[in-house]
Amino acid sequence: MATITDIGTVITRNPKLRGGRPIIAGTGTSVRRIAALYKQGDNAEEIAADLDHLTLVQIYAALTYYHANREEIEADLASEQAEYERLAALHAKKAQIQ
């Protein structure tokens, strides 16, 4: 007998986890992380192989959430990139001073 998964239960939000970002239920893995790997060219099967604590169902649910809420996730990715660049520039400045 096949197991039925309610797709609406696979992605959750909790203000206490990952800043309230959407995550895969029961894990600390954010949709943002899955979307970033996908945008780097990994397909669902490759992501599942790299993140072996996740099932293919969970990966596809995260990708579905990303595609259905692309603006939200893209803004989150852009914010993360901007923070990375800010910190990298700060580190480079400190290295020049020393």
Render the burial of 1-20: b for 16+ CB within 10 Å, e for the rest: eeeeeeeeebbeeeeeebee
The 10s digit of each residue's pLDDT in 1-45 is: 777 777 788 999 989 888 899 999 999 999 999 999 999 999 999
> What is the average per-residue pLDDT within 87-93?
90
pLDDT of residue 95: 79
3-state secondary structure of 74: helix
The 10s digit of each residue's pLDDT in 45-83 is: 999 999 999 999 999 999 999 999 999 999 999 999 999
